[in-house]
Structure 1
């Protein structure tokens, strides 16, 4: 295993790099070979995973030092452990499906080659984060996913909303990146940037670099306070949303904390993660209920699930957070691809209030989005159930977090409500707008069917492979069934509300400005400071510079300064009456003198 695993991992990296270079060189070509190479990479990545499941060994691969420094030498170093070897196949599988979907969805785009190239670069940046064994390498991948998200969210750059969303994403991430840069600088000066050396110093770790890590994760994973960029990122094409929200970018923040968890054995850090995660999961779920844009609902659902992962890190359960991260990737990618199919078929319509009866017109996509939604809710024996149910049970048997448990249970009920809301509005009743339905073809069916199988079977396969010797936990039946009970209550409540609304008189749909609907008014708050700064700058430049500086020191100031000098050196006083009087008197006097002669 010590030779096979690193060799195959490096092969995956090299193959993806060569594929991007090929797309770069050949501008027009058939993209079918791209998805075939992605499929091959996924199959190759399963070999190290199967070896890991049999042997439970961790491998490291390091190059000779590239940069020599007085305190530490920087080299390329890969860590191939349970986390990296499990998540590499997951991210490859999802990217393979999304690339195949993109070939259909973006077929009319003139720059589709460039688009696929960006998606693959995004994947490589994420793989660098997953396998990084030192902070510098992790930072390279971290900035890589940031810049690729900026390029992909702003793909349709002619739209002002897409530009502002891309800028929003990069600026919010820069706020979080300050924490990571600070932590890296701290570790470079006082400790080590190599992760193995870091883990041995967990008892002496200061609180400042740890809070920097939490800040970095909060920015990248859109936790409460730095959350508005994630729903705004829906301005990008749907395949971008699917990749961004499932296996890249947003999970990078949570993965950072999972990877560096051994040094985060600090009560303040854990409590911060717990409070931040529980607040985010409830707030995002409540916000999702108030939205009408199908992609924004699914985006806020991602934020809610990321909050759940952050809560687990706060409860000292990084492996459970990682399990939910892996399971969540499948059904979240599927939700986005199915919503993309709906949007494509409805001519770009994203408002769920204007959809309806799609289960008759698009039966396959409707079945798949239903399975993905049930998996998100945590219905028994689907992928989401194995991670979400375990998370809630783990929180239940802890004595210290009843507040976080209560928030998580409410968020679970709300997640069932917004999932049922999507199903009720899009699939049932009658068509509310004119629908231009395309036939569901093989190109669309293959990637979505794969992700559906993943959403159904991934949890069961994980349980069969890794959780064979589980410890027996004894708890009351009511507590054991609490998550399922709450989910069913959410479904019933959502359906009940759905039956109430059609009996209202027909009127034009309007969007109310509410606390949750406006994402706690963070957009307004965060935009107020730049707006005030711009206005202040404008007033200084126009009023202060023009009216004061130019008046005093410009042409008028110059004339004012020269007047006194003129007055001292000449009799000219600029008094026209005096001049005229003197001129007239002189003429008269001259005439009189001439006449007298």
Structure 2
């Protein structure tokens, strides 16, 4: 632990406290490893960009903010990293400077500002304990303050991790360049909220916020999974898969397994970054086409990218002995052997199965189906930067699950269950894959309202962004029309005309009497003021 004193305010020392423990060190190592692969990939992806140096510096500043958040022990230093992530993410989302990017950056910034406000209010509440150190806040807070602090931490975390009803900004942030998406969706911005809840887990348990987290997590995962089953935009499908897995992490945390939530967060970061890199390469190959209905046959034209894309998808499904298998299998077994009720067990099994369904659909439509494009751009895969980034993340996506299960968890992490329950995780993966195959084979537009509902994330973008803005513009039109019509008649001109017409009925003596009373009243007020002073 290392402390930097800033000043003392009303008997409270304001410190910047940095603390490195096992969990923080492992997370920071993964962030740096994934960031190095992303910077390597961006050297090829952004080589034709005129401001590539500025882009690289922004990415490094983004990683520094995440590192500051990871090693921070109190809320003051956490706020510095938290705000750094928010500001730099806005700059990166609006990097291409067009109307769509500006709109996406605005909804991203405004949503994350709610979390910033919650962090500031939490800092104010923790003054009661005499310290902003989250290790000791549970012991020193009053019950009411603890409840409010837990609520504010949950609000800050779900805005940053895009849980419902704040999920609309995450797919909108796809306007940023693909290397930024690979970094944001794997180990930095969206995982910051989950990491904050893991750090504040004792406070959340003491405040009784776990039931609310469980409900939010299930709704987020179910919404993201069903939307990914109907979506046709490649990058948006990968973004929705991130949203789904974030819900799984929060659900795991709400069931009382913070270490398992961190385990799944780390394994997910490896294959999700690889999945985004491969998606960016595929989109470049097809002339910036993101519609998966126009893809197919990429195993022949992009064999290396297709191989690593499949590897990342298998890890996402939880294929045996890939990175995602170790975290999901241990998660299912822990829920089955714990004190969770049948409802929570069913929800967790549904979450695991749905992730296999949309992954298999993505693989079928983009790689295995017959090519449906008339023109396929021929792109060489001999780029050493891209190949190096693929190999680094491919090794992590294959081995990180086994390595982390030895390093992060108590050894041996063995749970004794009947054989059928022991094979449940593999069975859920196979069931989800079997359900995803027929969905991918059916591309006909049926039940258009049903598909519109799911493809638009249960209409969340309309509710959280489009409706308020449209309401404001419509109100502007209404007020302008009223100002030219009824408001003018009822307001200034109408009142003037009304009182002018009424005054014509009053006799002249009334004017004289009224003026006399006004002068007399003014004289009395002046005399009273003189006597008082």
Relative to the length of structure 2, the TM-score reads 0.88
Q: 1:196 to 1:560 in 2, by over 3 A?
A: closer
Partner of residue 116 from structure 1, selected from 28, 52, 56? 56
- Alpha-carbon offset, residue 557 of structure 1: 8.5
Q: Which runs of 5+ in 2 are unaligned?
A: 505-533
Aligned to 1:582: none
Q: 1:404 to 1:306 in 2, by over 3 A?
A: same
Aligned to 1:175: 114
Greater mean deviation of Cα atoms: 85-94 or 402-411? 402-411
Greater mean deviation of Cα atoms: 66-75 or 340-349? 66-75
Cα shift readout 1:442-462 (whole Å, capped 9, x = no counterpart): 121001110000000111222
**Residues 1:355 and 2:295 are matched in the alignment:** yes
Aligned to 1:480: 422
| Counterparts of residues 93-492 of structure 1 (less than 5 Å) | 93-158=33-98, 160-189=99-128, 191-201=130-140, 204=143, 206-266=146-206, 268-433=208-373, 434-440=375-381, 441-467=383-409, 469-470=411-412, 472-492=414-434
Name the CA distance, whole Å, in 2 between partners of 1:405 and 1:472. 19
Q: 1:564 to 1:363 in 2, by over 3 A?
A: same
- Is this contact kept in 2: 1:282–1:408, CA < 8 A? no
- Is this contact kept in 1: 2:405–2:413, CA < 8 A? no
- Is this contact kept in 2: 1:129–1:137, CA < 8 A? yes
- Alpha-carbon offset, residue 370 of structure 1: 0.5
Name the CA distance, whole Å, in 1 between partners of 2:490 and 2:221. 59
Name the CA distance, whole Å, in 1 between partners of 2:405 and 2:489. 79
Aligned to 1:16: none
Aligned to 1:529: 468
Aligned to 2:2: 61
Name the CA distance, whole Å, in 1 between partners of 2:32 and 2:449. 39
Greater mean deviation of Cα atoms: 90-99 or 201-210? 201-210
Q: 1:265 to 1:494 in 2, by over 3 A?
A: closer
User: 1:454 is paired with a residue of what secondary structure?
Assistant: helix
- Alpha-carbon offset, residue 103 of structure 1: 1.2
Name the CA distance, whole Å, in 2 between partners of 1:417 and 1:342. 21
Name the CA distance, whole Å, in 2 between partners of 1:206 and 1:267. 6
Name the CA distance, whole Å, in 2 between partners of 1:435 and 1:222. 36
Greater mean deviation of Cα atoms: 88-97 or 192-201? 192-201
**Residues 1:515 and 2:453 are matched in the alignment:** yes
- Is this contact kept in 2: 1:135–1:193, CA < 8 A? yes
Q: 1:534 to 1:466 in 2, by over 3 A?
A: closer
Q: 1:553 to 1:391 in 2, by over 3 A?
A: closer
Q: Which runs of 5+ in 1 are unaligned?
A: 1-59, 567-597
Name the CA distance, whole Å, in 2 between partners of 1:460 and 1:423. 25
- Is this contact kept in 1: 2:278–2:305, CA < 8 A? yes
Name the CA distance, whole Å, in 1 between partners of 2:222 and 2:361. 17
- Alpha-carbon offset, residue 432 of structure 1: 1.3
Name the CA distance, whole Å, in 1 between partners of 2:348 and 2:221. 7
- Is this contact kept in 1: 2:255–2:340, CA < 8 A? no
Higher normalized contact order (CA 8 Å, seq sep 6+, divided by chain length): 2
Cα shift readout 1:19-72 (whole Å, capped 9, x = no counterpart): xxxxxxxxxxxxxxxxxxxxxxxxxxxxxxxxxxxxxxxxx1112x21221142
User: 2:2 is paired with a residue of what secondary structure?
Assistant: strand
Q: Radius of gyration: which is bigger?
A: 1
Q: 1:132 to 1:217 in 2, by over 3 A?
A: same
- Is this contact kept in 2: 1:357–1:426, CA < 8 A? yes
Name the CA distance, whole Å, in 1 between partners of 2:413 and 2:317. 25
Name the CA distance, whole Å, in 2 between partners of 1:177 and 1:387. 31
Name the CA distance, whole Å, in 1 between partners of 2:255 and 2:496. 72
Cα shift readout 1:536-592 (whole Å, capped 9, x = no counterpart): 24422x1344445666777898899999999xxxxxxxxxxxxxxxxxxxxxxxxxx
- Alpha-carbon offset, residue 141 of structure 1: 0.9
- Alpha-carbon offset, residue 272 of structure 1: 1.4
User: 2:241 is paired with a residue of what secondary structure?
Assistant: helix
- Alpha-carbon offset, residue 208 of structure 1: 1.1
Name the CA distance, whole Å, in 1 between partners of 2:141 and 2:97. 46
Relative to the length of structure 1, the TM-score reads 0.79
Greater mean deviation of Cα atoms: 464-473 or 315-324? 464-473
Name the CA distance, whole Å, in 2 between partners of 1:497 and 1:530. 35
Name the CA distance, whole Å, in 2 between partners of 1:147 and 1:492. 43
Name the CA distance, whole Å, in 1 between partners of 2:295 and 2:225. 22
User: 1:66 is paired with a residue of what secondary structure?
Assistant: strand
- Is this contact kept in 2: 1:395–1:401, CA < 8 A? no
